Amino acid sequence: MFNQFSRHEDAFRDWRRDGMPGLKDESYKYIGFLTSKDDDQLPREGTLWPHQWESFLRVIYSHEILKKPVIGLDGLLLNIVTGGGKTAIIAAVIAWQRIAYDTRKFVMLCPNLIVRDRLEDDFQNGKVFVDRDLLPEWGHSTSKDFILTTLGADREKGWASLFSADVVLGNIHQFYQSNKSGQSNLSALMNGPEFVLFNDEAHNSPATEYDATLKKMREKVILRLDTTATPDRADGKVPDSEMIYEYGVRDALSDGIIKTPVVYQPDIKTVQLTYTDAKTGEKRKVEEIDWDEVDRLGLNATQWVTDDEPMRQQMAIALKRLEEQEGRAKGRYQPILFVVAVCKADAEKAAQTLNNYFKVKALMVTEDSDEEDRQKARELGRQQKTAMPYRAVVSVLMLREGWDVPEVGVILLLRKFGSKVYGQQVVGRGLRRVRAKGVDASEPQICAVVDHPKLEHQWLWDIFNAKKRVGVKIDDLFDETEDLPPPPKKQELTEPDNVIDLPPIDPDYKDEGEFDVGDVPPPPKPLENWKEALNAIQYDPNVVEITKVEINGVTGQELGGEGWKSVHAAPGEYEGQIPIVEISDDDVREALKSRLLEMAEALTVEAGYAASSKDKVYSALLHHVRKRFMNGNSIGLADRQEIDYAWRMLTQVLRNVREVPGLIGGIIEYGD
């Protein structure tokens, strides 16, 4: 997403140097209140961090000097890394608007309950205003003047309360016009005074009803400020607001705002595979081969982290990293292992393995978790004070944006990310620094990410600017907290005059559709007889499971700086009898549906169609799987043996369907 403020940076710098001419008197006075007495270009210590200060000043400059429609007609956007303190910026803007404009109403929108609860914790009783010393005595406003009204659960107090509230916090869906409650809430806003609108986690906003709600509010909005750490969405769309400031991972590492991410991957030597009859479960053959030859068997990438033996091995690596993090914590806080699974069945398996085999107290949180478990997840960092603190939490992409537990010190990936947005969001859960009693602000902190090379996440680590230090042997000792490289240099715009605007499209230009695409073959023609092609697919009832993996060691790779590469010892052999993990009947059925939907979306996009067309593909795959592996029974009525058989065969289904040219196109173009 393009930074729309870049072309104004030179003028903005001169404006600051010349004393900020053109501001309202009250705005100038409030900026002075927040300014350091020793350097008029920096914030006063204890208020905003330097990058928050830069964000705040650009908001004021855009609103008062540039004004609409030069910039911000549909809103301003701040792209701030996870852990960069977006909440403090929102609070500073609220304080400025109250003092300079006597604005009496502020609305904060968020996409889910996790983000809502985080904002509620920060704004309840004006906590953030007090913590950051954002309200001057001469401003005639105190933290008690910003009474928070939170929509949802037992918090909602009706139309009258919403109409008169100072600060309204709610999920965007609570203002949708498609339901009566949303209509009432929106009516209360639109019949009240003008307000400042904050759209947190704004990358969620490009959705039909989301967008319609924001457009409806626009006529009452004085200023709209969007905040996000990932403005580019998985579907390629971006918010309609204009980005005015970027503060990314590299900047945050340079300033010591976030932890240093370190990725650990096993260096695999050999692999033992067991062949199993998918229908009967009978083990028939065991083979040990070099792991580079395994690809010919068509193993699913996630088998490297979800089959029993590899999962335990990855967990052993992660728990070793957790022990190291606990050593660094020195009892001041309890580091947390965050395990990310692809489906509920895998999450249940992971939680049971941690609890029953490794004897690590783990909490599982999914979309079906009750409020008590969700609350536990939000308060994991405070569990140190209990007799039996949680050391791990397992989630199915539930704990992404908005779930901020600084104590997360290790992330274990038991899934493959196809989305750059989701990948960054998950890693972001471990980037927030621990700011506990006794923890010095300059103390090096690490977020250890346990990954597997077969998941092919190098694109994700490239985003974090991965580097390597070579020549380190397995027996060498390495202390990351003492030997981390110096922070990377910040990237700054030095010649804003060289920033150019893209020329507008000539309305008279006609695209004749003729251009050279080289030797790229045309896409396959959609199959009209797709049903016959799908029915003709043959399957081998033998499925392959990874039952033993021998590794040379564990490679640690620092991200975001000059970098290093270190090899750690491999996890030792397991002791004692390995318990059998029993996955509940409901979880396996739900996992089968979820996996089929995920496959349908992947196949749809690969075939060149919009993801919204996946429903037809899902329906075709579902009927195919029911017919071939479940005796025609539905997922709800099939017996457990049929469900297990279908689950084991999904890897072959995906591979075989993918290999039939034009099959997916036929389903979409000619399907019922």
In 117-216, where do the E strands start and end? 148-150, 167-171, 195-200
What's residue 403's pLDDT? 67
β-strands 542-558, 260-277 pairing? antiparallel
What's residue 129's pLDDT? 96
Confidence class of residue 132 from pLDDT cuts 50, 70 and 90? very high
Query: What contacts 582, CB < 8 A, 6 or more positions away?
Result: 352
pLDDT above 90 covers a percentage of the chain that reads 35
Is the model's pLDDT at 83 over the cut of 60?
yes
Asked if 238 and 212 count as a contact pair (C-beta separation under 8 A), the reply is no
Q: Which of 346, 558, 555, 365 is nearest to 445 (CA)?
A: 558
What's residue 496's pLDDT? 57
Confidence class of residue 63 from pLDDT cuts 50, 70 and 90? very high
What H or E segment, with its residue span, contains residue 303? Answer: helix 303-306
What's residue 203's pLDDT? 66
Model pTM score? 0.74
Is the model's pLDDT at 50 over the cut of 90?
yes
Give the pLDDT mean for 286-290: 77
Is the model's pLDDT at 643 over the cut of 80?
yes
Count of C-beta atoms within a 10 Å radius of residue 148:
20
For residues 88 and 482, which has the higher predicted lDDT (pLDDT)?
Answer: 88
pLDDT tens digit sequence for 216-275: 999 999 999 999 887 666 556 678 899 999 998 878 888 888 888 888 888 888 888 888
The segment with the largest mean pLDDT, out of 15-29, 108-122, 341-355, is: 15-29
In 7-88, where do the E strands start and end? 76-80
Give the pLDDT mean for 528-535: 94
What's residue 392's pLDDT? 92
Region class of 477: left (phi > 0), else alpha (psi between -120 and 50), else beta: beta
Average pLDDT of every residue of the chain: 82
Region class of 456: left (phi > 0), else alpha (psi between -120 and 50), else beta: left
What's residue 578's pLDDT? 57
Q: Compute the distance between CA of residue 208 and CA of residue 216 in angstroms, rounded to an integer.
A: 12
Q: Compute the distance between CA of residue 141 and CA of residue 148 in angstroms, rounded to an integer.
A: 15
Is the model's pLDDT at 533 over the cut of 90?
yes
Domains of the chain with CATH codes: 6-247 (3.40.50.300), 300-478+556-568 (3.40.50.300), 582-670 (no CATH)
Confidence class of residue 456 from pLDDT cuts 50, 70 and 90? confident
What's residue 238's pLDDT? 75
pLDDT tens digit sequence for 370-418: 667 767 776 675 655 566 788 999 988 665 555 677 888 999 999 888 7
Is the model's pLDDT at 471 over the cut of 60?
no
Tell the residue number behind the tokens 């346990």, with chain if given.
450
Is the model's pLDDT at 559 over the cut of 80?
no
pLDDT tens digit sequence for 621-642: 999 999 999 999 999 999 999 9
Count of C-beta atoms within a 10 Å radius of residue 9:
18
Helices (H) and strands (E) in the chain, counts: 22, 16
